[in-house]
Amino acid sequence: MELRALHYFVTVAEELHFGRAAERLRIVQPAVSQQITRLESELGARLFDRTSRRVRLTPAGERVLVTARATLAAAARVRVVARESAASLRIGMATCFTPRVDRALTRLREGGQLAEPTLVDLPVPARLDAVRDGELDLALVRGTLTSTAMTVVRAWSEPVHVVLSREHRAAGKPAVGLHDLDPDGLRLLTRAADPPMHDAVLAALPEAPRRPPVVDTLNVLVEVGQDPEGWTLLPVEQTTGSDSARLVQVPLDPPLSVDGSVVTPLATPAARVASYVAAFGD
């Protein structure tokens, strides 16, 4: 039995959808189905009830899920132990190098961190998968995130601003309320690109967005800059260092903030998790 097959099984069990599981795993759907079929054959038990409308775990699948997660966590612990003297602390994050990250790297070095930090640019779903699989030592994520497969600890909070076209009527205001913005102008990042942040923004909106979501942050900003009524919501630190003649940031009234969390493998010792949280915290 391969760990890969267990990983595929757990992903399908979490998504209850073979297509979404394949997207998370970054492979084609038939490969996922093949692995699940092979695992079911090897175990001699059906793990999922599958119809054209839904996928759900069988009683056997529910039992296997508990053990599969424990097995993957144990494998991750083996990798962590093997890397105890590794020369690199792998940190998953977005492309922007913010003052928070710069400050955290200094704190980690001054705190006796033996491994040299290495910053790894990954989209949020891939970032979380890499942490769960032990391929990253920690990741930074904004928004509300809960997980039984990883350790998630809130580390900071930062303001969320509205980003507007410079031609927007609210561009010169000291602050703007969400109720004062046209819902038709909202450009929202697709949930698949960043589920925790997408959910945080949706929870803050007074009404559901009317436009289809946009695939990545760069395209969100491009579309906002091209539309005099365009706007989006972004954490302040996410736009640090960006300078565009077409865009302007405006604080929200009332203020809105989003939490940032440090995410680590379950096998990471609590003292080490605390040191990461202290490094990246406010």
Tell me, what DSSP letter sits at residue 170? T
Q: What is the structure's pLDDT at 122?
A: 84
Q: Check residues 253 and 121 and name the one with the higher pLDDT.
A: 253
Q: What is the mean pLDDT of residues 235-241?
A: 77
Q: Are residues 240 and 267 in the same domain?
A: no
Higher local confidence (pLDDT), 230 or 212: 230
Q: Do 199 and 143 meet the contact criterion of CB atoms below 8 Å apart?
A: yes
User: Which of 35-39, 102-106, 109-113 shows the lowest mean pLDDT across its residues?
Assistant: 109-113
Q: What is the pLDDT of residue 86?
A: 52
Same domain for 150 and 208: no
pLDDT of residue 215: 66
In this structure, the answer to whether residues 92 and 206 fall within a common structural domain is: no
Judge if 138 and 274 occupy the same domain: yes
pLDDT of residue 85: 47
Asked whether the predicted pLDDT for residue 246 surpasses 90, the reply is no
Pick 190 or 273 by higher pLDDT: 273
pLDDT tens track for 120-171: 888 888 889 889 888 889 999 999 898 888 999 999 999 999 999 999 999 9
The mean of the pLDDT values for the chain is 87
Phi and psi at residue 92, in whole multiples of 5°? Answer: -90, 130
Q: How many domains does the chain have?
A: 3
- What the block records as the tokens of 15 is 């998504």
Instruction: Using the CB atoms, write b or e for 71-92: b if 16+ within 10 Å.
Output: bbbebbeeebeeeeeeeebbbb
**Token couple for 83:** 């890397």
Q: Phi/psi of residue 165, each to 5°?
A: -65, 140
d(CA 267, CA 88): 17
CATH code: domain of residue 26: 1.10.10.10
* For residue 277, pLDDT beyond 50: yes
* DSSP per position, 48-88: EEE-SS-EEE-HHHHHHHHHHHHHHHHHHHHHHHHTTT-SE
Q: 99 and 70, same structural domain? A: no
Clarify whether residues 264 and 140 are in a common domain.
yes
Torsion region of 276: left, alpha or beta (phi above 0 gives left; psi -120 to 50 gives alpha): alpha
- Domain with 90 in it: 82-156+260-280
Q: What is the pLDDT of residue 83?
A: 53
Whole-number Å distance between alpha carbons of 161 and 244: 15
Same domain, 177 and 223: yes
* In contact, 147 and 161? CB cutoff 8 Å: no
CA distance 115 to 88: 5
Burial of 119 by CB count in 10 Å (0-12 exposed, 13-18 middle, 19+ buried)?
Answer: middle
If we measure between CA atoms, which residue out of 215, 210, 207 comes closest to residue 184?
210
**Could you tell me what percent of the chain has a pLDDT over 70?**
92
CB 146 within 8 A of CB 199: no
> Could you tell me the CATH number of the domain that includes residue 230?
3.40.190.10
Residue 66 φ then ψ, to 5°: -60, -50
Q: Is the pLDDT of residue 108 over 60?
A: yes
| 48-84 tens-digit pLDDT | 998 878 888 999 999 998 888 888 877 766 665 555 4
Question: What is the four-CA torsion angle of 15, 17, 19, 23, rounded to 10 degrees?
Answer: 0
Tell me: do 125 and 248 sit in the same domain: no
Considering the domain architecture, whether residues 175 and 239 belong to the same structural domain is answered as yes
